[in-house]
Chains A and B, each alone.
Chain A
């Protein structure tokens, strides 16, 4: 309970911080708009040539793009800023200030930052999904909706765990900013359903960088392709990743010697 209160307070502070820089909202809207436009252009170029790609039609791929935008927005609003701050603090030795606070350190380092304006992406993604669903004649039932929200939630947790594992390697390697760039490149692969990639890449995007579970699986739920088997697979992987992330973090903190603060 204490944890929720802490997270909520940091969220409030994050939002108040963002309100100091309202002009950034307009820049964010423009950026989101440009990203959406280039995404739609890419999609249209493909569907000028074919009517379906790897078994997905245009409206269904639009749904994938919606999920991609929502999840990407959430990552940039809540996950990435926290992890980038953590990377810097580990390198500079200022993590001491977080470790000495009387709260669970992993929780604390995961909730300190929140970029409200990035939620423009989330809103835009939801609109894209609604458009896609209306093109699909709202062919969704109760189970699809439940599957969608649970898959989205599990996907977000998996991405968080992935980031925490990568960031925790900074306890040993110190400079890991380049790995963050690598993630951004790989996440872009989620714009398309992972079924179209060659096997080695598909496995990589499923188990190494859980892009498949964060984007393709929720989109499968939305378009009525999610099987119970996949859903349990997602649950199992989420639990595993969470345990691994927690362990790596714990060992990492033990290894941390506070460089200079």
Chain B
């Protein structure tokens, strides 16, 4: 246990130091990502205004809150891309990680977790600017705040697991971009990224419950923005833990089979 703790703290420290060197590049990256939620926010605020102030239970103020929290959750959702796995496997970069006496996935989890710390610090001024412009209606309770803090890190773990599983498909075939595109489209619709799920048709809302997407995206936002009953707050956390547990089991089983197929040299 101590071995893992030490590994994680030093890897995260390393990643914080590395990413802190490029604040400008990180900022451009974040600003580029802001366009998407701002567009959604403006469109749905226009819809809400036309309908006399609310749409699907959201006012322009709570929509602003939803999409501003969205920007933080989006940052938390960044993990090693499945396209990167293709490069890792084809170029044999994985060989190096395999030599170390620790599972290679820990490196990803720790590195990106460290990067998150930098991203959250850089995010704060952007969130303040967005709040001044769009005036969000946000009144979280202390409990909601605590649950949110846990939920965004669980969301990060869930997305890391699903993206790693997707990336591991490259052990079998390198023609994967079509699959990845389909995955990202399903995620866009079912996660609450395109619109809050309460604006979706009933059937989609029900379906979303059974996929990991919403637990990695929409749920943490709703914790902070929506007035969720305390019960639902904890059901959500339970679903997140269940997905992480299930994901870890699946990843470790598939990894055992997948790694036997890896034959690249060099790297």
Contacts and interface: CB of A to CB of B under 8 A. Distances in A.
Do A and B interact?
yes
Interface stretch (B91-99, B177-185, B217-225): B177-185
B23 to A, nearest CB: 12
Given A50-B51, A53-B46, A178 B181 contact: no
Interface residues of B, number: 33
Interface string B113-133: 000000000000000000000
B34 interface: yes
A34 B189 CA distance: 11
Interface stretch (A65-73, A117-125, A196-204, A226-234): A196-204
B187 to A, nearest CB: 11
Contact of B43 (A48, A185, A196): A196
Contacts of A182: 28, 31-32, 35
B200 A49 contact: no
B43 A201 contact: no
Nearest to A44: B201
Interface in B17-35: 25, 28-29, 31-35
Interface stretch (A35-43, A126-134, A139-147): A35-43
A160 B175 CA distance: 32
A239 interface: no
B42 A185 contact: no
Interface in A174-208: 175, 178-179, 181-182, 184-186, 188-189, 191-192, 196-198, 201
A64 to B, nearest CB: 12
Given A53-B43, A196-B42, A181 B32 contact: yes
Interface residues of A, number: 34
Contacts of A198: 42
Given A41-B189, A45-B199, A197 B36 contact: no
Q: Chain A interface mostly helix, strand, loop or mixed?
A: helix
B120 to A, nearest CB: 20
B258 interface: no
B253 interface: no
Interface string B157-172: 0000000000000000
A31 B181 contact: yes
Given A42-B194, A197-B42, A50 B189 contact: no
Given A27-B178, A46-B47, A50-B47, A178 B32 contact: yes
Contacts of B109: none
Given A37-B185, A42-B194, A53 B36 contact: no
Nearest to B29: A178
A54 interface: yes
Given A30-B178, A41-B194, A178-B25, A185 B32 contact: yes
Given A42-B194, A49-B55, A53-B50, A184 B32 contact: yes
Given A49-B51, A50-B47, A27 B194 contact: no
A201 B42 contact: yes
Which A-B residue pairs are the 9 nearest by beta carbons?
A: A185-B35, A178-B28, A181-B32, A182-B32, A185-B32, A34-B185, A196-B46, A50-B50, A30-B178
Given A34-B182, A45-B200, A182-B35, 5 more contacts: A23-B175, A45-B194, A46-B43, A46-B44, A181-B28
Interface of B: 25, 28-29, 31-36, 38-39, 42-44, 46-47, 50-51, 55-56, 175, 177-178, 181-182, 185, 188-189, 194-195, 199-201
